[in-house]
Chains A and B, each alone.
Chain A
Amino acid sequence: MIEIKDLHKSYTMGSNVLHVLKGINFKAEDGELVAIMGSSGSGKSTLLNILGMLDEADSGEYTLDGVPIRDLTETKAAKYRNKFLGFVFQSFNLINYKNALENVALPLYYQRMPRKERHDKAMKYLEQVGLKEWAHHLPSELSGGQKQRVAIARAMAAEPKLLLADEPTGALDSTTSYEVMDLIQKINDAGNTILVVTHEEDIAHMCKRIIHLRDGVIVKDEKVEQVRASAYV
């Protein structure tokens, strides 16, 4: 599903060059649920953003579902994001003047799906995250957990090949976090490939594989026994 080879990324700030990713190599197969762990500032988000084509690597190879990702124009990147990728962010990133349903339908709009179809599909995914009754509420009327579930519904609505979640539980209390992880596990159970960035041990252990990042390289890559979040909710 994903293969990256010798990925490098550095940030230049004035005369300082901060080398954040120093040659990352890894592979993830279809249906995996991978946690990317590391302390704050270790480059987890940077890696995820490059995988998500929200940012570009300085060097290295990246293949997504057999398609080599390189020489991306903004327009091409946008098309790939729309077709291949779903995002879940720590801060939800819902559009505040659109209600839950419209937020979920937005990626479908960029797929040029007709309005009616779009709304039906968005409603289906909202139902899956248990928020059908909240479809016409604005994000400001939702709790943190609800917002993240809307965000997950939005990420899934486009039926991406890969779901990228950057600290999806970072802004949530532990009960709500487990609810969100329960949802992610269920999505994974259905066969979707998911990468979850987190710095919390318990969240990482709810995945099937943990990649440890330190000082810009992968220091450990382990398969783990998945802890089911449903046990806690």
Chain B
Amino acid sequence: MFSRDAWNEIFETIRKNKLRTFLSGFTVALGILIFVTLFGFGNGLINTFNKFFNEDATNVFYFFPGKTTMPYKGYKSNRQIEFDNTDIADIQKDFPMFLEYISPRISRSNLIRYQAESNNYTTHGVAPSHQFAEKTVIMKGRYLNLKDMKEKSKHVVIGRLVEQDLFGSRNSLGKYVDIGGSAFKVIGVFQDEGGDREERFVYMPYTTRQLIEKNTDKINMIVIGFKPEIGYAGAMAFESNLKKFLKGKKFIHPDDESGFFIRNVADQLEKNQQFTGVLKLIVAFVAIGTIIAGIIGISNIMVFVVKERTKELGIRKALGATPGNVISTILLESVFITTISGFVGMLIGILLLRSLDDRLEDFFITNPYIDTGTAVIATLMLVLFGSIAGYVPASKAARIKPIVALRDE
């Protein structure tokens, strides 16, 4: 059945029935091409989504102070909660198992001037570890360090766009900018995946910020990075322990959720992953639909092919073809054509996706791709189910009495 001679016979048939070959080959190639493209686009959508929402580190909590809504332990309600340096120290002391890093953040809007250029920017007073939370990437110079914190130095790290605004094409490193009447030395320039807004931030030591503001020890916000290895459940436990701790320390009623707020990136990550999951499901659904359509397409072609060949098969039977010969004649031809054209379609699809790269970013499709495994499996599925679908008309044809087949016109 799989002898060289059988294949020769099949190649000959394929060569001499170009329309039929083209028809089934085209259907399969197109089916796989559409599958690969759709699947790639789906992955591109997911890429875009991930890029929008996951540009910051995902193992981070942000704590914001709020106002109480319940009286508690002699405190009236509607009391403004504030964080200060002792909170940072306490959390560091109490949660070493969970904590990877912690940084205060004191955000202000400042007019920043360099020579004739000036502009309003958001400045963040932060600790060195803040770099990890924002995934700040230093382009030149350096980030803030512990020495800056201790010495309350007037150093700033400025965003790429801040440098562009104020310095144009000149180098800002080592230059002094004026922030609210004090001169700060630029020690670093950064870029951030987060986009233009985040590249117009200016970072300075939080200690310096506190010094400027009458040596206060108050903090706007606490940024906490937890160890990724504690996982989602660990992060949840950490969050509730932190809550309990801060409520106790700040005399907030245990049921009062307004004393402070938490933005939990892990939580958001979970939601993002759910959304990505739904996207993947939709893509898979559409893709499987394409494959099924392809299979139906081949089955129809197979029915047509067998019908067209009924008389020929009758002649072959009269000359001694067994039912097995008939089935293998039809199936091997179909498997051969579907395999070749399937892989051709797959290759075209993959090349198409590659050549698109990020050209479709305006349509929210970034780096569309399909992993080769998925593409190969889909192609093999189509071949497999295509031949199963082809088997039905083939075996039917094999069972037709030769005399009936010969009468067919």
Question: Which residues of A are interface residues toward B (Cβ below 8 A)?
Answer: 49, 52, 54-56, 74-75, 78-79, 81-83, 87, 89, 93-95, 97-98, 102, 106-107, 109-112, 114-115, 154, 158
Contact = CB atoms under 8 A, between A and B. Distances in A.
B323 interface: yes
B146 interface: no
B16 A97 contact: yes
A83 B320 CA distance: 8
A97 B403 contact: no
A48 B338 CA distance: 41
Interface in B292-318: 311-312, 314-318
B320 A110 contact: yes
B322 A89 contact: no
Interface centre among A89, A109, A114, A154 (most CB of B within 10 A): A109
Contact of A114 (B5, B320, B402, B403): B5
B322 A74 contact: yes
Interface residues of B, number: 27
B313 to A, nearest CB: 10
A81 B398 contact: no
A219 B403 CA distance: 26
A163 to B, nearest CB: 13
A81 B314 CA distance: 12
Q: Which 8 A-B pairs have the closest CB atoms?
A: A82-B320, A110-B320, A97-B16, A78-B322, A107-B319, A54-B403, A55-B403, A75-B322
B401 A95 contact: no
A74 B398 contact: yes
B165 interface: no
A109 B399 contact: no
Give the most central of A107, A111, A154: most B CB within 10 Å: A107
Interface string B2-20: 0001001100110011000
B230 interface: no
A78 B321 contact: yes
Contacts of A75: 322-324
A203 to B, nearest CB: 22
B70 interface: no
Contacts of A102: 12
A54 B402 contact: yes
Contacts of B311: 93
Contact of B315 (A52, A79, A95, A158): A95
A114 B9 CA distance: 12
Nearest to B324: A75
Contacts of A93: 311, 314-315, 318, 406
A56 B406 CA distance: 15
